[in-house]
Structure 1
Amino acid sequence: MTNPPLIDLRDATKKYDDGPAALAGVTLSVASGECVAILGHSGSGKSTLLNLIAGLDRPSSGSVTVAGTRVDQLGETGSAKYRRASIGMIFQFFNLLDDLTVLDNVMVPAQLAGMGKGEAKRRAVALLGSLGIDRHANAYPQRLSGGQRQRVAVARALMNKPALLLADEPTGALDSGSAEDVRQLLLDLNSEGQTILLVTHDVQLAASTAHRTIELVDGAVERDVINDGSVAGMVARTPLPRPAGAAE
């Protein structure tokens, strides 16, 4: 029997007013263990899609299921619990708390989820060690480079062992060297089985990191292609057939 997809959107539409839909009848699925990139220009629907999957917003119609949970049917409290249990998020500008040490920043999600302080500290120290930044555990984020801060953000995102890691422009605020470090980190995490949804406008990052790229145009899926590791190959590849029910 085929395992159900980790992410499953069915005809998901989001309208904020009487204008065009921010997301227009999107049907897509992501299997457990995949790394999938979502590409699109500003206004294409990338942020809206991310917010629906993260339970930060609800579709106007259609369904959003993640790790067996109907995210679109959750209330405010249920959405918060779902994010703590199932979702890790990495942001372009890190979103670290400058008045907390690196270690305390990483521990925050576990403490919000009710993990004991001792257990949370042990896991945070282990994560910082695995990401090569344990020597900065007692430093404050503003003392670190951009690449180091993004590693702290990744450790925080992994704290509660999420089923899904959402990376929203994770290299957008980094220099080229730090961006390459983060790209390699995402590859390493995925090779260990972490499911990743990478939202970016960077075609090179998508081609070199993700197994698959989904391109959004005006809120609809324009292309869904398997990557071969090159920008040229990704652009030239014939789009895959859209799933039944996907927007035209």
Structure 2
Amino acid sequence: MAVPVIELSGVSRRYEEGPAALDEVSLTVAPGESVAVLGPSGSGKSTLLNLIAGLYRPTAGTVTVDGTRVDTLGEAGSARFRRAKIGMVFQFFHLLDDLTVADNVLLPAEMAGVGRAAARRRAAELLDVLGIARHARAYPGRLSGGERQRVAVARALMNRPPLLLADEPTGALDSASGEDVRELLNDLHADGQTIVTVTHDLSLARACATRTVEIADGRVVADRPTPRTTPATSATSTAVAR
């Protein structure tokens, strides 16, 4: 059996006052799965994502990602781990507006100490595969929402991470751009990328996920295969995205 990419065991995240943000959650994600995490605001979805990414530490339990106990890492070790193992995509892109598209995509490689020539080849490859090569010298503010999210995905994939975490990736997009991102996530999953997507969007889960985990009041209340809708066929190949 393949080693899980994510393994949470009895994980809680508590604060001094109020209910637990996450309460004794156990969760396993296998290589190549695309998992959607659903739940209302305040349910613990974002806390779960931040624990997986090593941005938070659990009050109790263990968090293992790609064989590493991320809950035991210090701040510097956690940052190095994210650079090497996790790609993150956010609702509001988090691109640097004073850098070109290409330079935004190059940032993770530069921070990881990848050689300039190799990094530029990888960035050019990703921009081409994701259909935004023509925007390499443009600035993010000149792009549509869907195009900016593609830049964010290219940046997230720059160091070939085994895990992609997406936090409401269509939340700030219009319907056409949202569909564009749904197709992209489907392409990445078809190429073998392991993806965990936190979303309020049930249609996104049905289109892109093979499994849905529902959270309420900090607990997993359902974990089942996703009744998927048939995604639109995309001409984009992401064979080089990994």
Displacement of 1:228: 2.1
* Aligned position for 1:220: 219
TM-score, with structure 2 as normaliser: 0.94
* Aligned position for 1:208: 207
Displacement of 1:118: 1.4
* Aligned position for 1:55: 54
Matched residue type, 1:45: G
Displacement of 1:3: 1.6
* Aligned position for 1:66: 65
Q: How many residues align?
A: 229
Displacement of 1:117: 1.4
* Aligned position for 2:234: none
Displacement of 1:19: 1.4
| Gap regions ≥5 residues in structure 1 | 231-248
Q: How does 1:9-24 map to 2 (within 5 A)?
A: 9-24=8-23
Matched residue type, 2:147: Q
- 1-side partners of 2:58 and 2:209: how far apart? 26
* Aligned position for 1:98: 97
Displacement of 1:67: 0.2
| Gap regions ≥5 residues in structure 2 | 230-242
Displacement of 1:36: 0.2
- 1-side partners of 2:84 and 2:202: how far apart? 31
- 2-side partners of 1:69 and 1:130: how far apart? 30
- 2-side partners of 1:98 and 1:138: how far apart? 12
Identity over aligned pairs, percent: 65
Matched residue type, 2:111: L
- 2-side partners of 1:12 and 1:33: how far apart? 23
- 2-side partners of 1:121 and 1:65: how far apart? 32
1:130 is the counterpart of 2:129:
yes
Q: How does 1:31-50 map to 2 (within 5 A)?
A: 31-50=30-49
* Aligned position for 1:152: 151
- 1-side partners of 2:167 and 2:226: how far apart? 19
- 2-side partners of 1:207 and 1:118: how far apart? 40
* Aligned position for 1:166: 165
- 1-side partners of 2:2 and 2:125: how far apart? 31
Displacement of 1:140: 0.2
1:196 is the counterpart of 2:207:
no
- 2-side partners of 1:100 and 1:141: how far apart? 8
TM-score, with structure 1 as normaliser: 0.91
- Runs of at least 4 residues off by over 4 Å: none
SS in 2 for 1:55: coil
- 2-side partners of 1:14 and 1:56: how far apart? 12
- 2-side partners of 1:203 and 1:228: how far apart? 11
Matched residue type, 1:8: E
SS in 2 for 1:62: strand
Indicate the RMSD between aligned Cα atoms, in angstroms: 0.7
